[in-house]
């Protein structure tokens, strides 16, 4: 799949933002109005910024409001509805905390639950696609949730929890890659099933339907960037999980080191998310002799 | 709108005969022509005369080579367009309800004024049947020429999809799969019409007829033994030439 920058920014930052909002909704960290303002500002900037980035790849962003209508069947619609609900509830909660120094526990819990549900819905946009076997697994929501909760804990200053969650995220990431590498073959999608001609013999693309690329190939048959995937996997794992975990669990706490951990985690997560898209093989690639 | 109908009154679709398709791409051209001038946004082309032309098509013809265990390989021309699946994933993933399957005839369509161009329906389609138009920013797909098949302004002979009407090899057939006596149902039954990527569970309506088995070259003719083979032992001038060349 084509690793569009807008979608990478969307999933990475909205994941972090809603992860942090979940912690803030649970009253973590329990600090005064001014410090809370800073936390809420970061959370809303990440969540809203990510959501806005997601509109950049739309053909008609001005019609985005229509995307709230089909929550009965569509994970993308559910994600939009949950995101807006989470932002509204947490917005009210934050308003009361910052300006009236009043915490309404129940409101915060609802906001936290909606934030987690938003992250889950985001992950299901990808996990639901049977056409992309690497994504079409329960590991996809686990990967998104663990990263968001870990990143949220990191931004919420929960040193030990963040350290453990990010170490766990690293483990989940490794399992996702290992399982994902064989998933397409396991599903049994081949050019023989794609054409139905397997009963006659081995099928091979003889001549493509056109000489240059088309939308399908640009969007779903992204093979260019996979050359360095092994190196990128190491980079993603080290910066997303290893470096922040070591800083949080083994080194003395401090603002500078925390900043290093945050920057490293975001950089690593961007690399991981780039691979999430670039390594995902769409079944339609079979028809083009590419995957 | 948002969900798939449990049942449709008709199941309109195509039968594509891989035995007779000659790979001329006439269906591709007529589809592009009709659908650029009629229903919905035109099918755009970018850099049409440049180094990297790229355009929107609702129908494309691949060519595959099939190599059996023994014997020579065979070329199979393979037209591919929307299969109007019964369990169409492209409909349920749509966040706006722009993508829908009609209850009356099962045609899968896009309401272009509701489409936000997110592309998720194209991601959910295993067949590559949907393409986001790069100029209009909306999703385009085969409409089964919905603006032809019911169009009373057209002569009756033209009230079928443009690709079917134009195919010079008669490799494309249009009809109602819900009717067991329709031309398409009978063709499917007689020729073993098959689903593409059945393991995806999309239950495609369109069916593909596999190529018929090639003739076997067994005993050529009962008269063959009576026909003298070409002289294995040449005489006369050829015999002299043969010997002379042999000695060289």
The per-residue pLDDT for range B157-212, each reduced to its tens digit, is: 999 999 999 999 999 999 999 999 999 999 999 999 999 999 999 999 999 999 99
Nearest-angstrom CA–CA distance, B6 and B28: 32
Q: Is residue B233 part of a domain?
A: no
Q: Is residue B49 part of a domain?
A: yes
pLDDT exceeds 70 at position A224: no
CATH of residue B171's domain is: 3.30.70.20
Q: Is residue B160 part of a domain?
A: yes
DSSP state letter for B214: P
Half-sphere CA count of A189, side-chain side, radius 13 A: 28
Q: Is residue B239 part of a domain?
A: no
CB contact under 8 A, B123 and A219: yes
pLDDT exceeds 60 at position B1: no
Domain span at residue B163?
Answer: 12-209
Q: Is residue B92 part of a domain?
A: yes
CA A119 to chain centre: 8
Distance from the Cα of B155 to chain A's closest Cα (Å) equals: 32
Distance from the Cα of B7 to chain A's closest Cα (Å) equals: 17
Complex ipTM, two decimals? 0.93
pLDDT in tens, B126-151: 999 999 999 999 999 999 999 999 99
Tally of domains in chain B: 1
Mutate to test the interface with B, among A3, A84, A195 (most CBs of B within 10 A): A195
- What pLDDT score was predicted for residue B2? 63
pLDDT exceeds 60 at position A13: yes
Q: Is residue B3 part of a domain?
A: no
Question: What is the maximum span of chain A, computed from C-alpha positions, in angstroms?
Answer: 75
pLDDT exceeds 70 at position A99: yes
- Contacts (Cβ under 8 Å, ≥6 apart) of B204: B83, B84, B85, B86, B127, B195, B196
Q: Is residue B197 part of a domain?
A: yes
What residues of chain B, 79 to 98, have a C-beta less than 8 Å from chain A? 80, 89, 91-98
């Amino acid at each position: 799949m084509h690793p569009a920058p807008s979608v990478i920014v969307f999933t990475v930052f909205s994941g972090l933002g809603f992860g942090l909002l979940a912690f803030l909704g649970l009253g973590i960290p329990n600090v005064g109005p001014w410090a809370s303002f800073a936390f809420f500002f970061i959370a809303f900037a990440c969540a809203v910024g990510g959501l806005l980035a997601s509109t950049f790849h739309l053909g008609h962003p001005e019609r985005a409001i229509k995307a709230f209508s089909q929550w009965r069947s569509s994970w993308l619609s559910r994600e939009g509805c949950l995101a807006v609900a989470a932002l509204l509830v947490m917005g009210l909660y934050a308003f009361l905390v910052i300006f009236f120094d009043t915490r309404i526990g129940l409101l915060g819990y609802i906001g936290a639950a909606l934030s987690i549900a938003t992250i889950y819905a985001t992950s299901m946009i990808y996990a639901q696609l049977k056409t992309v076997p690497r994504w079409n697994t329960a590991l996809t929501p686990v990967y998104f949730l663990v990263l968001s909760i870990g990143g949220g804990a990191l931004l919420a200053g929960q040193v030990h929890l963040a350290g453990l969650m990010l170490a766990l995220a690293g483990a989940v990431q490794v399992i996702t890659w290992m399982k994902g590498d064989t998933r397409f073959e396991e599903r049994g999608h081949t050019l023989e099933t794609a054409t139905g001609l397997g009963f006659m013999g081995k099928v091979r693309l003889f001549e493509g339907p056109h000489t240059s690329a088309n939308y399908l190939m640009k969007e779903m048959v992204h093979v260019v960037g996979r050359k360095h995937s092994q190196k990128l996997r190491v980079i993603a794992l080290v910066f997303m999980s290893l470096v922040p975990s070591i800083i949080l669990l083994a080194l003395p706490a401090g603002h500078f080191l925390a900043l290093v951990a945050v920057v490293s985690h975001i950089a690593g997560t961007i690399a991981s998310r780039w691979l999430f898209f670039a390594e995902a093989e769409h079944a339609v690639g079979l028809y083009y002799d590419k995957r | 709108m948002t969900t798939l109908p449990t049942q449709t009154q008709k199941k309109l679709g195509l039968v594509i005969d891989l035995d007779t398709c000659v790979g001329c791409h006439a269906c591709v051209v007529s589809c592009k022509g009709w659908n650029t001038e009629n229903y919905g946004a035109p099918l755009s082309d970018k850099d049409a005369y440049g180094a990297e032309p790229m355009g929107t098509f609702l129908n494309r013809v691949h060519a595959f080579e099939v190599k059996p265990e023994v014997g020579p390989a065979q070329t199979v021309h393979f037209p591919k367009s929307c299969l109007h699946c019964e369990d169409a994933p492209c409909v349920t993933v749509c966040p706006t309800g722009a993508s829908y399957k009609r209850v009356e005839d099962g045609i899968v369509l896009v309401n272009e004024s509701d489409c936000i161009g997110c592309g998720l329906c194209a991601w959910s389609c295993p067949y590559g049947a949907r393409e986001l138009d790069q100029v209009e920013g909306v999703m385009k797909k085969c409409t089964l020429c919905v603006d032809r098949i019911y169009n009373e302004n057209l002569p009756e002979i033209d009230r079928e999809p443009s690709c079917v009407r134009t195919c010079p090899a008669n490799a494309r057939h249009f009809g109602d799969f819900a009717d067991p006596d329709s031309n398409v149902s009978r063709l499917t039954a007689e020729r073993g019409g098959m689903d593409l990527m059945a393991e995806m569970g999309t239950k495609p309506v369109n069916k593909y007829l596999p190529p018929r088995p090639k003739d076997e070259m067994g005993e050529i003719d009962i008269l063959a033994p009576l026909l003298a083979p070409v002289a294995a032992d040449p005489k006369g001038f050829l015999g002299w030439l043969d010997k002379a060349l042999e000695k060289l």
